[in-house]
Every structure is written in structure tokens, then in C-alpha cells.
Structure 1
Amino acid sequence: MRIDKAQPAGPVVNGLSAQGFKVDDAQGVTGVYAALLLTPVRADAWTPPALDALDVAALAPILDPAPEFVLLGTGRELRHPPRALVRALEAQGIGVEAMDSRAAARAWGVLRAEDRQIAAALYPL
């Protein structure tokens, strides 16, 4: 019996390096991004603000349509996002899950394999 691991539709983070996140998209195009915004249908390079200045406007490209939650990769180590950001997203019915960026990149693949409608914002490693 052969068991194949299901691949989620859309962009998949396939590797991490000093240069950033290696992403394969649905069309088979590979890119490397220092910082990254992900939705179920696209991956975009991102120039993030300092984490303590992160707000809804900086995440706007991944909030329409509204995801179940935003997976926030905070860099080399877990840092808490600004409380005002969390409150603003929760007011829109969007949760926030913060973790270090390596863990967030791994979680992206697991959650997308479950076809979860999430978004991600990953700070540089």
C-alpha cells in the first residue's frame, strides 16, 4: 500500500535558509522571501514594520477575505504582538496565533493540509 502525503492547494513553505523562506506556489514557481505574507492562494514579499508597530494596515493584504486566524511568525524567537493589533483583529472575528517564524512556517503547511482558511505574516528568521 502506498500512502501519499496530501499537498495543500496554494503556496507551500518548503524550506528555510539564511536568505529566508523557500516557497513553492500553485503554478510550480519557487521563490525565496526574507519576510512573507501568505494566503491560501498567494505568497508575497513583505517589508514588515517593527513588531511593536505592527497594525491591521500592515496586514491588510492578507485580511480579505477574512481568514480564520493569522499565523504570526515573530522572527527568531516568540514575541507577543501588540495588544491593540490582537484586539482589532479579534473585533473582526480573526484570531492571532503568534510563534517564532520557523514554527509558524511549519504550522502553515500542517494547517493548510487540513484546508484551513488561514493567513500568515512571517518576520525574517
Structure 2
Amino acid sequence: MPHCNGFAVLRTAKSYNLANYDRLRQCIIDGLRHAGQDARPLNDLPIAQPPLGRESPKVKLHQDPSQAALNTVTGYGPGYVEVNKVRYNHSVMIAPEGDVTPWPVSRFEALDTSHFDLLRAREPEVVIFGSGERLRFAHPRLTTALTSQRVGVDSMDTQAACRTYNILMTEGRRVVLAVLIETEATE
């Protein structure tokens, strides 16, 4: 079995790392040619484009037509979240049905129990807290009212929170997404 740049050429080779995608693609093509097989179909595969710089990616998610009436996160990026193609530049509470509601908190340090009580009023099965560009956990005393009612609370960075919300929402779960969009402190 030929090897190239550390990759073993296998017919079932998979790579989930975009940085290695092109090397693996070329290695498979070379391996097929070495084995005397036609590698032309692989030449049609796209060449991976690594993310530019160290910026947070701006992501657009595509809505499933069968879920069109539900609140779906359709995009997110630094300083915003997009629900049903409407952009919000402030913290919001999102449930599958009903309005997207402002969540009156603009700094992680300002979170208190009243912010999580607003989420409890929506009677969720699970609350997903999108803590911003990096993962931060709300203090357990802030979520006690939720957890004492057997409501699951999970903290994630905003990107992971948005993706997880969409999955749970399409499964028909009673999920509420609380997205923290931090604004600059004004002094």
C-alpha cells in the first residue's frame, strides 16, 4: 500500500481536517494512479479553502423547508446572530415557536438569576446558553431555578450553541437558546 506524506492510501480514507483535505485528496489520486486505476472522478473534487486569518467565521445555515414555520438560526458571526434571515446585534432568547425576544444582558459579568428566570418562563425542556466567541459557564447559582425544575442547561460558545439549537429544534424538543451578544462597555 503506497504512503504519501504520512497518509496511508485507502479506498475508504476520510479526513475531517480541512487543512489536510487537499494533501489527502492528492495522495488518493496518486495511489489510484500507482495502482493503475482511473483517478479522474477525484479530480472533480473541490480544493479545500482554509479559513482566512484568525477571524471568527461568518456562517450561513440553510433552513429545512419542512421547518419553515419554526425559528431557525440561519447565520451567526462576531457580534450578531441571524434568525429566519433577520439579523440581531443584541442578546436574544430564541424558541422554536413565538417571537425572538431581546435578552436584557450585554456583558457576561452582568448575568444574574433574573436573566435565567426569563428563560424558565418559556417552560423549556433544555436551555442552551451561547456564551459568546468562547466557552464560558454561567455560575450554577444562576441556573438553580432551571435545574431544580429538571430543565437541562448547557453552556457552549455561540457557534456550537446555534448549531445544537437547530438540531434539537428540528427533533421537536422544547429548547430555548439564549445567545449572549456582548456590547462594548460605555463609560
1:27 corresponds in structure 2 to none
Higher relative contact order, chain-length normalized (CA < 8 Å, sep 6+) = 1
After superposing on structure 2, the runs of 4+ consecutive aligned residues of structure 1 that deviate more than 6 Å are: none
- Equivalenced residue count is 117
Greater share of strand: 1
Q: CA deviation at 1:83?
A: 1.4
Using the aligned pairs only, state the percent identity.
29
CA RMSD after TM alignment: 2.2
Find out whether 1:89 has 2:142 as its counterpart.
no
Question: Which blocks of at least 5 consecutive residues in structure 1 are unaligned?
Answer: 25-29
Letter in 2 for 1:54: L
Residues in 2 aligned to 1:44 and 1:80: alpha-carbon distance in whole angstroms: 22
Give a deviation string over 1:31-70, Cα, whole Å, max 9, x none.
2112211112131232315334423321334323411111
TM-score, length-normalised on structure 1?
0.79
The answer to which of 87-96 and 105-114 deviates more is 87-96
Letter in 1 for 2:77: S
User: Residue 10 and residue 63 in structure 1: after superposition, are their counterparts in 2 closer, same or farther (change >3 A)?
Assistant: farther
Question: Which blocks of at least 5 consecutive residues in structure 2 are unaligned?
Answer: 1-63, 183-187
Point out the structure with max Rg over C-alpha: 2
Greater share of helix: 2
User: Residue 7 and residue 75 in structure 1: after superposition, are their counterparts in 2 closer, same or farther (change >3 A)?
Assistant: same
Is contact 2:106–2:180 with CA below 8 Å preserved after alignment? Answer: no
Residues in 2 aligned to 1:40 and 1:57: alpha-carbon distance in whole angstroms: 22
